[in-house]
Amino acid sequence: MGHSVCVANSEKLQGEERRVSIASTVLTRVGRGQARVRSLLSHCAASSLCVAGLYSVLIVLSECVGCLVEVLVFTLMGIIVNAGSLLKFIALAIMLVVYSYDCFNNVEKKYLKLNKALFSEVD
C-alpha cells in the first residue's frame, strides 16, 4: 500500500520520473524564487540593522572617550591656573603620607622587637 501511494504521487518532470510528496508540491518554481528573494531581503535587512547598531555603539563610545579626555584636560588646566592655592593642599597631603608612613613604620619595628622578646621568654 505504501508503494502505491508513492507511485500515485509521482510526477513526470523533464522526461524522468520523480517521486514528490504532497508537501513539496506546494512550492512551485515561482514560489521557490519568491522564497529566495524574501530570504535575500531578510538577510540584507538584518545585516544592515547590525551595521547600523555597530555604528551607533561606536558613536556613543567615541563620545564617552571624548568626554573623559575633556574632563582630564580641563582638570589639568584648573590645576595649572590655581597652582598657588593648590600648593598648600598638595604639601599637606604629602606631609600626611610621609608622617603616617614614619609613624606606622616605627610601630611595626617596635612590635617586631616586642614579639621577638616575648617569644624568647616563652621558649
pLDDT tens digits along 43-70 = 999 999 999 999 999 999 999 999 999 9
Count CA atoms closer than 13 A to 20's CA, side-chain side: 14
Residue 91 lies in a domain: yes
pLDDT at 8: 44
- Residue 83's pLDDT band (boundaries 50, 70, 90)? confident
Regarding predicted confidence, which is higher, 113 or 29?
A: 113
Residue 38 lies in a domain: no
Residue 106 lies in a domain: yes
Residue 119 lies in a domain: yes
26: three-class secondary structure by DSSP: coil
Residue 111 lies in a domain: yes
Query: How many structural domains does the chain have?
Result: 1
Range picked from 2-11, 54-63, 111-120 for highest mean pLDDT: 54-63
**pLDDT over 90 (residue 24):** no
